[in-house]
Amino acid sequence: MEFKGRNTIQEGRLLDSETPWAERYEFLKRSGYLLRPRYRPGWVAPWKLKPRLYSNDFEEGISSSRTALMDAQRLSDGKTIYLKHTKKDSPEVEIGQYLSSEELRNNPRNHCLPVLEVLRNEDDPEHVLLVMPWLRRIDSPEPASVRECVDFVQQTLEGLTFMHEHKVAHRDCAWGNIMMDGRRLYPQGWHPQQWGFYPNGKVMRGDEPSRTGVGGVRYYLIDFGISTKGQDETLGIHGQELSPELSDTVPYNPYKLDVYILGMTYQHFLIERHLGLDFLLPFIEYMTPKNPSERPSAAEALQRWNKIAQEMSFFTLSQRLYPRKAEPRSGLSQTLKDTSYRVRDLWWTATASKKPSRPLP
C-alpha cells in the first residue's frame, strides 16, 4: 500500500485521502485559509516538468494520508493551523467550543486543544471543519530527563482535573491523544506532515532540542470525538486503551475511566520506553485498579502527585533518561556525560524557565 502511494505521488497525482481537500481549496481560501501548493486547482507536480527529477526533492512531494486532517496557513497572519473534518453533531464540536470559550480558554489549568473556528460549507451540510492550532507529537523528541517526565505528569493530571471540574470526561486520553506546543523546540517550525523536516521540505539535522533547555513545553489533550459532558455514567467500547470496564451494555463512570487511561499513558509512554522511571510505578498502580471504585478521582491523584513531586531532589530530577531498549552503559565516560547533563540542567532551570509561555494562535 505504501509502495502504491509512493508511485501515485511520483506520478504527480494526489492520494485518495487528499482529493476531498483539493476540492475544498477555494472554499477554504474564501474562509481565510490556504492549503499548500499541491492542492491548488490545476496543480502540476514540478518533478514532472523535467526528466530525472523526483518527488522527494520537492516540498510539494510531501503528501497527507489522513482523510480527516489537513494543515493550512491562516491568511491573516501566516500561521500554520490544522483542519479537522468531522460530523456536525460530533461531541468534539460542542465540547471543543465549550472548552475553548473565553472564560475557560484563558485558565492556565486548561490543557485542552482550543477550537479557533468552526467552518460550515454549504456543499457539505452534514459536516464541519474545526480549525485548531498545529501541535507536535510528544515523542518528537522524546523526554530527556526525569524532570521532563515529572512536568508531563503534572500538566496532564492538571488538565484532566480541570476537565472533570467542568463535567467533561475525555474517555480516550491515551498518549496518542496528547500533543505538545513545539514552537520553542523548533523556532524555525517544522513541516506539518513530516516531523523531521522544516516547512520548506528540507531534512532537519543536528542534535535534538531539549524541553528543559527552552524553558519547557506545554501539553494539550486533543480529540474529543467520544467525550461526554455532564454524564456520570456512559456506555461504549471505543478508545485506544482497552480499559477493563468498557461495555456497550453495562454503564460505567467516565471520570474513573479517564484516570485509568491516563495512568496507563504513563505506563506506556514513560515506563515502557525509558529507564530510570520506576519511581512512577506505585503512582501508576494507584491510578489503575481494575475496579473503578478503587481508583482515585483526578483531583485526588493530582493531590498525591503534588506531594510526590515536591519531595524530589535536584539530583533525581536532573537524571538523564535512556531508552529501555538501549544496552546498559557504565564507566567513566558515562558518568562524565551524566554529570555534564546535570550541569546543563542546573543552568537551564535557572535561566530558561523564566521565559514566558507564548499563547497558541
The H or E element that residue 43 is part of is: none
Task: Report d(CA 85, CA 315) in Å as an integer.
Answer: 47
109-123 pLDDT, tens digit each: 999 999 999 999 999
CB of 280 within 8 A of CB of 270?
yes
Q: Please give the C-alpha separations between residue 182 and each of 10, 60, 135, 191, 218, in angstroms, as whole numbers.
A: 31, 23, 6, 12, 8
Task: Report d(CA 305, CA 154) in Å as an integer.
Answer: 8
171-228 pLDDT, tens digit each: 999 999 999 999 999 999 999 999 999 999 999 999 899 999 999 999 999 999 999 9
pLDDT score of 203: 94
- Of 35-44, 87-96, 244-253, 313-322, which range is least confident? 313-322
pLDDT score of 353: 55
3-state secondary structure 54-122: CHHHCHHHCCCCCCCEEEEEECCCCCEEEEEEEECCCHHHHHHHHHCCHHHHCCCCCCECCCCEEECCC
Provide the whole-model pTM: 0.93
For residue 112, give the nearest of 260, 12, 197, 223 by alpha carbon.
223
CB atoms within 10 A of CB 57: 11
Is the bond into 323 cis (omega within 30 degrees of 0)?
no
CB atoms within 10 A of CB 219: 20
